[in-house]
C-alpha cells in the first residue's frame, strides 16, 4: 500500500495541535495534581489525584509549564477566599508546588497561643470530633485529636493536632500586602507559612489555582496502582469525585 506523501506531516501536525490544546487547557483551565505528602490530612490523603482550576485567581507566569517569564504580574486577578485549599509555588525556589489551606489575608495577624489558632486576636473556634482516625506524618502513624474548625466567614473544615500539642505558641505573623498565609490541616506535620525560611508568606503571583475535587485516589501503602489484583483494596472508591472543602 502506497502512503500519501503528506501522511507523516499530517500526523505530526495533529500531534502538535493536540499538544498545544493540552498546554492551553492545563495553563488556563484545569490541571491535575497528585498528593505526595500527609500535610493536608484528613482533607487530602497521600495518593489523592485532584483537579485544580487555574482561572480561579487569574493568571501569572506560574500558570504555565516551567513558569516562563511571559507575565511580570498577575492578570485578571480574583482574590482567594479565606479557607480555600490552594496550590502555590513556594517562595523559596518559585518552582515547587505546595498545597495548603489559606488562613491569613493581607494585613491579618496570625498567632498560636497554647496550641489554639488566633486570627486578628480572636480564637478560631474548633470542636473536637470523637472519631478514631489513622493519620500519617510521613511514613509514621501519629496519635492525634481531630477537630472541626470554623473560620469567621462560617467555613468549616477538619484539622488534626498531635495529642501532646507540639506546636504550642508562636510569634505574631503579620501578613504583608499582596501576600497570603497558609497552614496544613495536619497542623503538627506541615511545612507551611509558619516556617518563614522555607515557605513563609506567599505572594499573590505565586498562586497556581484552587483545588476543586478529587478524581481518583489510591493507597500506596497497600500496593502500586499497577498491581491490579489489589485494586479492590488499594483504590479509595469512596473518595472519587469528592469535592474539596
Instruction: Tell which wins on pLDDT, 27 or 217.
Output: 217
pLDDT tens figures, 76-85: 999 999 999 9
7: Cβ–Cβ under 8 A, 6 or more apart, which residues?
Answer: none
The pLDDT mean for the chain works out to 91
**Dist CA 176 CA 199 (whole Å):** 14
Q: What is the pLDDT of residue 22?
A: 85
Q: What is the pLDDT of residue 94?
A: 93
Residue positions annotated with a catalytic role? 39, 100
Output Rg (C-alpha) for the chain, integer angstroms.
Answer: 21
Q: What is the pLDDT of residue 7?
A: 61
Beta strands in the chain (DSSP E): 30-34, 48-53, 85-89, 97-104, 109-113, 116-119, 122-123, 125-129, 135-137, 140-142, 144-150, 156-162, 173-174, 179-183, 202-203, 207-217
Mean pLDDT of the 43-63 span = 97
Whether this model's pTM surpasses 0.85: yes
Cell of 163: 495529642
Strand-pairing partners, residue 203, are 179
Q: What is the pLDDT of residue 5?
A: 59
Mean pLDDT of the 61-75 span = 93
Domains recognised in the chain with CATH numbers: 7-239 (2.10.109.10)
Q: What percent of the chain has pLDDT over 90?
A: 72
* CA 119 distance to own-chain centroid: 21
What pLDDT band is residue 231 in, cutting at 50, 70 and 90?
Answer: confident
Before 42, cis peptide (omega within 30)? yes
Q: Which helix (H) or strand (E) holds 22?
A: helix 7-24
What pLDDT band is residue 1 in, cutting at 50, 70 and 90?
Answer: very low
* CA 1 distance to own-chain centroid: 53
Mean pLDDT of the 39-49 span = 96
Tell me: pLDDT of 186 over 70.
yes
Lowest mean pLDDT among 42-51, 84-93, 219-228, 236-245: 219-228
pLDDT tens figures, 115-151: 999 999 999 999 999 777 778 898 889 899 999 999 9
Amino acid at each position: 500500500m502506497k502512503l500519501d506523501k503528506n501522511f507523516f506531516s499530517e500526523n505530526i501536525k495533529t500531534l502538535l495541535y493536540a499538544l498545544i490544546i493540552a498546554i492551553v487547557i492545563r495553563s488556563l483551565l484545569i490541571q491535575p495534581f497528585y498528593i505526595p505528602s500527609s500535610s493536608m490530612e484528613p482533607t487530602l490523603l497521600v495518593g489523592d489525584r485532584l483537579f485544580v482550576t487555574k482561572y480561579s485567581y487569574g493568571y501569572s507566569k506560574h500558570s504555565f509549564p516551567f513558569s516562563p517569564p511571559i507575565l511580570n504580574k498577575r492578570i485578571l486577578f480574583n482574590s482567594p477566599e479565606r479557607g480555600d485549599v490552594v496550590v502555590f509555588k513556594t517562595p523559596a525556589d518559585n518552582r515547587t508546588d505546595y498545597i495548603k489551606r489559606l488562613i491569613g489575608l493581607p494585613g491579618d495577624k496570625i498567632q498560636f497561643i497554647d496550641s489554639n489558632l488566633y486570627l486578628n486576636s480572636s480564637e478560631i473556634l474548633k470542636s473536637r470530633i470523637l472519631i478514631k482516625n489513622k493519620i500519617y506524618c510521613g511514613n509514621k502513624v501519629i496519635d492525634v485529636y481531630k477537630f472541626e474548625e470554623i473560620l469567621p466567614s462560617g467555613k468549616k473544615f477538619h484539622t488534626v493536632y498531635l495529642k501532646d500539642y507540639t506546636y504550642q505558641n508562636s510569634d505574631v505573623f503579620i501578613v504583608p500586602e499582596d501576600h497570603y498565609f497558609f497552614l496544613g490541616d495536619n497542623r503538627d506535620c506541615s511545612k507551611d507559612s509558619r516556617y518563614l525560611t522555607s515557605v513563609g508568606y506567599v505572594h499573590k503571583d505565586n498562586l497556581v489555582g484552587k483545588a476543586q475535587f478529587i478524581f481518583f485516589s489510591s493507597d500506596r501503602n497497600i500496593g502500586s496502582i499497577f498491581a491490579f489484583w489489589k485494586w479492590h483494596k488499594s483504590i479509595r472508591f469512596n473518595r472519587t469525585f469528592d469535592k474539596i472543602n
